[in-house]
A and B are shown apart, each in its own frame.
Chain A
Amino acid sequence: MDNLQNALFQFCLRQGDTHLILGHRLSEMCSRGPTLEEDIALTNLALDHIGQAEAFLRLAAETEGRGRTEDDLSYLRSVDEFCNAVLAEQPNTDFAYVVARQFFLDVYQCLLYQRLQNSSDPTLAGMGARFLKEVVYHQRHSAAWVERLGQGTTESHRRIQTAVNELWRYTPELLSTQPWEAALIEKGFIPDTREIALEWTVQVIRVFSRAGLRRPEDPPTASYAGHSDHLAHILAEMQYLPRTYPDAKW
């Protein structure tokens, strides 16, 4: 791979892994949603994210050109090789955590795909336009829940504020500029993350104010290094079958 191909590979892994890990977390909510409708909603979200992961990881595998498939990238990489946003792997502590995690990622993905649909690369532009339609629905859903919990009972307010406070520390990593980005931005392939980060904060604060939530203190920028322990547990479950029974078909 040349420099540009390697950067594209990294970008696809970053996005694909975030969708995959978030999709897995959401799939854990299947049969555990607070209501039947919400259970269905969360599993719908899981499906969308796993579909988006498949598309990104397929493009990553094609770009790499070493004969790996999207399944190989999902099932046969270890913790160190995963590039997902650390926020996506945070556990489903309670429904408020599920909502807050989803909301922060939905706003990011809406802003990313609004821009990616104008990418100078036709494949990325097509994926951006395609995924934007899906994530707009996701954001409408999660933002409505942030507001509902924030303006609900004392207990629901306390829980969503706690979840927001606890998950806020992972948002700088979600919005951080990656070392390989410059080459892709220069070519007009992807948007500048700094531009997304600015608008992300504006939009999130707007929903906080409608929900009556306080913006948490920003963490010191150096507070993050590598994945949390949660990722290894996710991979152990997700990869168990294909690693134990290589080439299993079902």
Chain B
Amino acid sequence: MVSASDIEALVWERLALIPDPEIPVISILELGVVRNVRYDGKLLELDITPTYTGCPAMQLFVAEIKAAMHDQGLDQVKINTVYSPAWTTDWLTAEAKEKLRRYGIAPPVKNADSGDPFAEPPLVPCPRCDSDHTRLVSQFGATACKSLYTCQDCKEPFEYFKHF
């Protein structure tokens, strides 16, 4: 007899295999968007929280989660969007941050961002040569979660996963 908690454990394991659509080196589980999984014997309910409110990847998350659950024979799936507690990059594991860095994306610098709109931009080490001699090019990058930086030592441009 398979219990509800067995199913929930299976779901968590399966979620760990779904890559982030924009940053495929980390899974949506490592990203921290799945907050809760509940199974009542019939209906599977998941709570997800957006990284950024308007992030277009959210719709893709929902589609990919549903497809993955369908593969497990779970067809009655309800996905709720919750805003509280607000997603934070503090939920990225140390391992996930290291994966980002190896992929060429500077991981979030903790407590670099006080939430004060008048504060200076954070000092971000280069993910390639580790130099602190970097410069903010643009606060906004190819996806909502990243800023554009350039390294003044190795001269490489790079993306910074904003502390949020």
The answer to whether A47 touches B117 (Cβ under 8 A) is no
Q: Select one of A37, A38, A130, A143 contacting B83, CB under 8 A.
A: A130
Q: 0/1 per residue, B86-117, Cβ < 8 Å to A?
A: 11000000000000000000000000010111
Binds B, one of A119-127, A177-185, A193-201, A211-219: A119-127
- Identify which of B52, B85, B86, B137 contacts A48 (C-beta below 8 A): B52
B140 touches A45 (CB 8 A): yes
A102 touches B (CB below 8 Å): no
Q: Which residue of A lies closest to B141 (CB)?
A: A40
Stretch at the interface among A91-99, A134-142, A162-170: A134-142
Q: Is the CB of A54 within 8 A of B86?
A: no
| Residues of chain B within 8 A of A140, CB atoms compared | 117-119, 121, 139
Contacts of A41 in B (CB 8 A): 138-140
Of B17-25, B36-44, B53-61, B66-74, the one with at least 4 CB within 8 A of chain A: B53-61
Q: Which residues of A contact B118 (CB under 8 A)?
A: 140, 143
B3 interfacial contact with A, CB 8 Å: no
Contact pick for B86, options A37, A123, A129, CB 8 Å: A129
Which residues from chain B contact A44 at a C-beta distance below 8 Å? 140-141, 144
Q: List A contacts of B83 (CB < 8 A).
A: 55, 123, 126-127, 129-130
Q: Which residues of A contact B2 (CB under 8 A)?
A: none
CA distance A38 to B132 in the complex (A): 25
Q: Which of chain A's residues has its CB closest to B84's CB?
A: A126
Which residues of chain B in 117-164 are interfacial with respect to chain A, using CB atoms and an 8 Å cutoff?
117-119, 121, 137-142, 144, 148, 162, 164
How many of A's residues come within 8 Å of B, CB to CB? 35
- Distance between Cα atoms of A75 and B119 in the complex (Å): 38
Residues of the B chain whose Cβ atoms lie less than 8 Å from the Cβ of A143? 117-118
In the bound complex, do residue B86 and residue A133 qualify as a contact, i.e. CB atoms below 8 Å apart?
A: yes
A126 lies within 8 A of B86 (CB): yes
In the bound complex, what is the Cα–Cα distance between A141 and B119 (angstroms)?
Answer: 11
- Is A52 within 8 A of B117, CB to CB? no
- Interface residues as binary, A39-61 with B (CB distance below 8 Å gives 1, 0 otherwise): 01100111111111011000000
A23: nearest chain-B partner, CB-CB: B54
When chains A and B are docked, how far (Å) is the Cα of A8 from the Cα of B97?
40
Query: From residue A40, how far is it (CB to closest CB) to chain B in Å?
Result: 5
With A44-B140, A126-B86, A129-B86 in contact, do A51 and B117 touch (Cβ < 8 Å)? no
**B54–A130 contact, CB under 8 A?**
no
- B138–A40 touching, CB < 8 Å: yes
Q: Which residues of A contact B113 (CB under 8 A)?
A: 136
The reply to whether A131 and B53 form a contact with Cβ atoms under 8 Å apart is yes
Q: Do A47 and B86 contact each other (CB < 8 Å), given the known contacts A41-B138, A133-B115?
A: no
Partner of A47 from B56, B115, B164 at Cβ < 8 Å: B56
- Residues of the A chain whose Cβ atoms lie less than 8 Å from the Cβ of B162: 137
B82 close to A50 (CB less than 8 A): no
- 19 contacts across the A-B interface (CB closer than 8 A): A47-B144, A48-B52, A48-B54, A50-B54, A51-B53, A54-B53, A110-B117, A123-B83, A126-B82, A126-B83, A129-B83, A130-B53, A130-B87, A132-B115, A133-B115, A136-B113, A140-B118, A140-B139, A143-B117
| Residues of B in contact with A (beta carbons under 8 Å apart) | 50, 52-56, 82-87, 113, 115-119, 121, 137-142, 144, 148, 162, 164
Name 4 extra pairs, CB < 8 A, besides A37-B138, A40-B140: A55-B83, A126-B82, A139-B117, A140-B118
